Amino acid sequence: MSDKVFRDPLYNYIAFDRNRDGWLVDLANCREVQRLRRIHQLGVSNFTYPGADHTRFAHSLGVTHLMKLVLEHLERVSDAERIRKARQALLATALLHDVGHGPFSHLFEPCLGINHEQWSMAVILDQGSQVHEILKREDAYLPNHVADLINSQDTKHPAWQRALMSSQLDVDRLDYLRRDSLFTGAGYGHFDWHRLLTTMQFHDDETDLVWPAKSAMAIEEYIFARYYMYQNVYLHKTTRGFEVLLQAMWKRADELRKNGINVNANPVLEQFWKSEDPNHETMPVSDYLAVEEFTVLEQIQRWTGHSDKSLADCARRFLNRDGLAMVEPPPPVNPLKSNDFGKWEADLHLLLKAKDYEEPSMYCLADTVKGKYRQPYREEKDPVNQSAVNTIRVLVDERPVAIGAYLPRLGAVITPQEDRVYYYVPKEIRQEAIELRRKLMSSNSDTEFGN
C-alpha cells in the first residue's frame, strides 16, 4: 500500500500517495506541524460545546485534502501543466497555513501581541525549522513561494493561487465550517461543498476563478452556513465571556510584572516576556513555538494561588468554568459612537467596589464584536476591482456577476453591520447590573424629554 492514510471524521479517509507526495507526509511529521495537535481549533469553545476539542492539526490535514481535490479537478478542466507546476506550493501552503498559531488559536493573539500569519511565514522561512528543511529539500524556492501565498499582502503569484487558499470562498473555510459544525454538534455548517469544489473554473484568460450559475444555490448555502456558525458558535456569548476573562487575566499579570511584582511565571513564559516586542524579528522562532496551550494552562494554575486576589480568583473561575455573565449595555448616548454609554461603566465599577471586588476592571469587561464578524460575507462593490479573492462570482452569459447581485435576497446577510459592545460581569451580580442598566436608561429618557 503506497498511501499514507489518516482516518478523519469529516472525510472518512485522507490519503497521501507516498510515491507522488512522500515529501508531504514528511512535512506533516515535522515538529512544527505536530505542535498543532496541541492547539485547539476553536480556542475555548469547548467551554460552551464540550465536543469542540478538535485541533489545528486535524483542520490542516482537512484543508490539504480539499486542496488536493480541487487541484485534481482544475487539472481536468484547464491547463494541466500549469496546475501541476503550482501543485507542490499549494499543497504545502494548505498544510502549513496555520503553523504559526499560538495557544487557543486566534483568542490568544492579542495577549501575545502577535499575528499568526506573520509567525507562520517566520516558521517556514526559518532555516532552523524542520519545515524549512523539507521544503527546501524539494525545491530551493519552495519556502519563499509558500510564505508568499500565506502573506495576504503579497502579489507575486497569480491571484488564483492565493484565492484557493485565502479568499471569500476557499478550501480553508470549506473545511473549518463543516469541521467546527461537526465537533460542536451545532449542525449549522451544512452545504454542498463537493459541488463548490468540482464546478469551480477559470475565467478571464485563466487568471481568475468563478462558478457557473448552476452553483449559485450551493454558494448561497455556504454563505448562510457562515452566517449561522458565526451567530451560534464563533460569537457565542459564553465562549466570548471566557475569552475576555482569559485576556483580562493576562493583562493583569502583565501589569503586575511590569510593576515589579513576581507573577510566578513558568520558564517558557518568562523567556517569552523577556522580549518586550515579541515578533519574528526580535524573538527566535523556537522561543515562540514553545508557548503552547499546556504552557498557558499551567501558568493559570499557578495564578490560582497568587497574592493578587483578583488574578487568583479569575484564574480559579477560568479553570473551574465559573465564568462571567453577559449584560447588554444601555443604548449609546451618542448614536454615532457604538461604545459611548455615558456613566454605565463607572456605575458598574462602583457596584463592584460595593461588593468588595478589589480590582473592578477585572470583573467589568467590555467585549467589542466587530461588524465584519457579524457580516458573514463581504464583496467588492466595484465590478472593475472584483476578483476571486474579494468576491464570489457566477458566470451569467459568460460575464462574471457577484453572487450578491445575482441573488439579491442575500442582501439581508451581506449588508455591512455595525460594531456591537457587550459587557461581562460576575454571575452573582448580573441581576443588579441589569437593574442598573434599567435605571440608567430611565434616567436618560427623563433627561431627553426634559423631565
Q: What residue ranges do the domains of the chain occupy?
A: 3-235+379-414
Following CA atoms 49, 55, 60, 63 in sequence, which dihedral angle do they give, to the nearest 10 degrees? -20
Q: How many CA atoms lie within 13 A of 411 on its CB side?
A: 5
pLDDT of residue 312: 97
- CB contact at 8 A, 310 and 357: yes
pLDDT of residue 353: 94
CA 54 → CA 5, 105, 152, 184, distances in Å? 18, 12, 26, 9
H helix count then E strand count, the chain = 22, 9
pLDDT of residue 451: 46
pLDDT of residue 449: 41
The SS3 of residue 46 is helix
Count of residues for the chain?
Answer: 451
- CB contact at 8 A, 401 and 393: yes
Distance CA 33, CA 47 (A): 25
Q: Which residues of the chain have pLDDT under 50?
A: 449, 451
Q: Which three cell numbers stand for residue 95?
A: 498544510
CA 255 → CA 262, 294, 298, 311, distances in Å? 11, 22, 19, 11
Render 155-206 in DSSP notation, one character per residue.
-SS-HHHHHHHSSSS-HHHHHHHHHHHHHHT-------HHHHHHH-EEETTT
Multiple choice CATH, 3-235+379-414, 1.20.140.10, 3.40.50.880, 1.10.3210.10, 1.20.200.10: 1.10.3210.10
pLDDT of residue 444: 67
pLDDT tens sequence across 103-160: 999 888 888 888 889 999 999 999 999 999 999 999 999 999 999 999 988 888 998 9
Distance CA 278, CA 267 (A): 16
Q: Could you tell me the pTM of the whole model?
A: 0.94
Radius of gyration of the chain (CA): 24
Single-letter code of the amino acid located at 365: L
The SS3 of residue 388 is coil
Give the pairing of strands 3-8 and 12-17.
antiparallel
pLDDT of residue 448: 54
CA nearest 209: which of 178, 172, 174, 170?
170
